[in-house]
Amino acid sequence: MTIKDTPEEWEVRATETPFKGNKTSVRTDDVVMPDGSVVRRDYQVHPGSVAVLALDAEDRVVILRQYRHPVRQKLWEIPAGLLDIPGENPLHAAQRELYEEAHVKAESWGVLTDVYTTPGGCDEAIRIFLARDLSEVEGERFEVEDEEADMELARVPLGELVRGVLAGDLHNNCLVVGVLSLVAARQGDGLEALRPAGAPWPARPFEA
Q: Show which residues are catalytic.
A: 148
Q: Tell me how far apart the alpha carbons of residues 131 and 152 are, in angstroms, rounded to a whole number.
A: 20
HSE (side-chain half, CA atoms, 13 Å) at 61: 26
Residue whose C-alpha is closest to residue 15's, from 26, 4, 30: 30
Q: What secondary structure does DSSP assign to 62-99, as a single string?
A: EEEEEEEGGGTEEEEE--EEE--STT--HHHHHHHHHH
* φ and ψ at residue 72, rounded to 5 degrees: 55, 45
50, containing H or E segment: strand 49-54
Strand partners, 63: 154
Residue whose C-alpha is closest to residue 13's, from 28, 24, 1: 28
